[in-house]
Amino acid sequence: MTDSAWARTGRFVTWSYGALAIAAGVLVTVVSVGIPPTDPDLAKHYAYIRQVWPELYVSFLLFMAAFVCLIAIAVVLREFFGRGVRTELLYTWFLAAGIVGMLWMLAQVGSAQAVVRDSTGLNAPDLNVLGTSSGIWSGVINWLERGYLIFASLGTYLTGRLVLRQPSLPRGLGWLSIALAVLYWLGLANLVLFDLGVFFSSELGSGLVALGAVLALVWAAWLGWVIGRSGQLIKALQPN
Contact (CB, 8 A) for 188 and 146: yes
Which residues form the domain of 158? Answer: 4-237
pLDDT tens digit sequence for 45-55: 777 788 888 89
Low-confidence winner among 165-169, 174-178, 189-193 (lowest mean pLDDT): 189-193
Residues whose CB is less than 8 angstroms from the CB of residue 192 and which lie 6 or more positions away in sequence, other chains included: none
* pLDDT reported for residue 233: 46
The predicted model scores a pTM of: 0.86
Q: If pLDDT is split at 50, 70 and 90, which confidence band does 30 have?
A: confident
Total domains, the chain: 1
* pLDDT reported for residue 235: 42
Q: What is the DSSP letter of 239?
A: -
Residues whose CB is less than 8 angstroms from the CB of residue 86 and which lie 6 or more positions away in sequence, other chains included: 158, 161, 162
